[in-house]
């Protein structure tokens, strides 16, 4: 039993170092109502098709971190969530998937990050 436990720990460690992770792909949810009010406003703007305050809003999000489900390039778009007191765009974003219709406005696939893509939470409406 002890050897089995040691083997499982070793395998888990190897997978983690390989970037696989045992829980890879599981993204925690956040209810839309629990988002900061600025994020709620950004989500409403996405669904309305704008207007957006920043030129980069709506640009392709490459998912280089591989934290979101793997999709073809161009599937995800990023939008700035204003940060009170920040002098630049800040670290908060909503990333929207294109969904089956190819339209981020109606896809229902939205992710929130408050730490500039280091982690995501799927927005549950």
The structure's pTM equals: 0.79
The β-bridge relationship of strands 121-124 and 29-31 is parallel
Residue 4 has pLDDT above 60, yes or no: no
Q: Which CATH architecture has domain 25-124?
A: Roll (3.10)
Active-site residue list: 78, 116
pLDDT for 80 = 98
**How far from chain centre, in Å, is Cα 85?**
23
Query: What's the mean pLDDT in 51-62?
Result: 96
Confidence of residue 10 (pLDDT cuts 50, 70, 90): very low
What is the share, in percent, of the chain residues with pLDDT greater than 70? 80
């Amino acid at each position: 039993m002890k050897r089995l436990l040691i083997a499982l720990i070793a395998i888990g460690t190897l997978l983690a170092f390989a970037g696989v992770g045992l829980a890879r792909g599981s993204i925690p949810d956040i209810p839309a109502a629990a988002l900061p009010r600025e994020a709620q406003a950004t989500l409403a703007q996405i669904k309305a098709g704008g207007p957006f305050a920043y030129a980069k809003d709506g640009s392709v999000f490459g998912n280089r971190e591989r934290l979101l489900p793997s999709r073809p390039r161009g599937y995800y778009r990023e939008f700035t969530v204003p940060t009170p007191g920040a002098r630049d765009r800040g670290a908060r974003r909503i990333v929207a998937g294109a969904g089956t219709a190819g339209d981020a406005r109606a896809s229902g696939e939205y992710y929130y990050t408050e730490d500039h893509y280091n982690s995501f939470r799927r927005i549950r409406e």
